[in-house]
């Protein structure tokens, strides 16, 4: 299913109103079941749903490799994905308690976030990255970001190595990252020499997602938050922001950039 559709609207310009067709980003609910238990409904763009589900499980610490999934059934049009886990580093009960508390006001979300951060091991990578190549990757991703150009309402993320390996677009920036991570896991890619590229803000949650996937470098045309920078220092992640026109700022672990 496409990430966007066409709808009629009335456009005001130069003291006139006219009816036109415009391209609008689609918003799609995806419900994920694990071991026959409803886990979450993600509001997302309707492409790459399999990758999104796998990336979400990695980002939430429920799996570490694709082999942790014993079976997966995707009902794309219905917006349903049923997954059976062969094994998991954390229990579903712990996951559900954490999300109920953070989403429904039964506890402090910050407490669960801190516990998440403590459960994550830092990334080990000795790979060095060429600054010029990083800038070229950002330019390439922005050039190929068709959904944003058409709708103005879609985020983009990509995985870089020797080239741009995979790109995803989604109305949610976290979803766009999860799709990249899910693709990487399904494709069994080695990630300690790869780059996570973003169109949006680098938040602490994005740093945790990259760490759980084992990606040592995050680069965005936008800014990082202070907590993202502090976590990146602790978890051995290089954060780069404001990557535009051949320039960028390095906020953590600059020793990786040559």
122, 236 Cβ separation under 8 angstroms: yes
Which structure tokens are listed for 62?
């429920």
- The yes-or-no answer on residue 104 being catalytic is yes
User: 164, 143, 137, 168: which is closest to 155 by C-alpha?
Assistant: 168
Pairing relationship of beta strands 217-220 and 195-198 according to DSSP bridges: parallel
50, 72 Cβ separation under 8 angstroms: yes
Radius of gyration of the chain (CA): 19
Other beta carbons less than 10 A from residue 232's beta carbon:
27
E-only strand ranges, the chain: 4-13, 16-25, 28-34, 37-44, 69-75, 80-85, 155-160, 164-170, 195-198, 217-220, 238-244, 247-252
213, 102 Cβ separation under 8 angstroms: no
Each residue of 143-179: b (16+ CB within 10 Å) or e? eebebbebbebbbbbbbbeeebbbbbbbbbbbbbbbb
| Residue showing tokens 């050039």 | 143
Catalytic residue positions, numbered: 104
């Amino acid at each position: 299913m496409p990430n966007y559709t066409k709808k009629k609207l009335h456009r005001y310009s130069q003291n006139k109103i006219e009816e036109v067709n415009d391209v609008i980003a689609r918003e799609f609910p995806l419900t994920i079941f694990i071991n026959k238990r409803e886990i979450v409904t993600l509001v997302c763009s309707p492409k790459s749903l399999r990758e999104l589900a796998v990336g979400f499980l990695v980002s939430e610490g429920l799996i570490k490799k694709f082999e942790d999934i014993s079976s997966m059934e995707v009902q794309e049009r219905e917006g349903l994905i049923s997954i059976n886990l062969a094994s998991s580093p954390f229990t579903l009960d712990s996951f559900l308690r954490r999300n109920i508390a953070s989403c429904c006001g039964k506890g402090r979300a910050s407490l669960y976030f801190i516990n998440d951060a403590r459960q994550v091991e830092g990334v080990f990578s000795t790979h060095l990255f060429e600054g010029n190549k990083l800038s070229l990757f950002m330019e390439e991703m922005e050039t190929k970001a068709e959904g944003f150009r058409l709708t103005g309402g879609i985020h983009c993320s990509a995985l870089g190595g020797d080239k741009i390996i995979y790109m995803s677009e989604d109305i949610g920036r976290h979803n766009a990252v999860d799709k990249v991570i899910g693709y990487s896991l399904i494709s069994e890619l080695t990630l300690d020499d790869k780059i996570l590229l973003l169109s949006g803000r680098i938040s602490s949650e994005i740093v945790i997602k990259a760490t759980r996937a084992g990606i040592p470098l995050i680069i965005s045309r936008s800014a990082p938050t202070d907590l993202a920078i502090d976590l990146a220092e602790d978890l051995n992640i290089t954060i780069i922001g404001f990557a535009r026109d051949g320039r960028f700022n390095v906020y953590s672990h600059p020793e990786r950039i040559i």
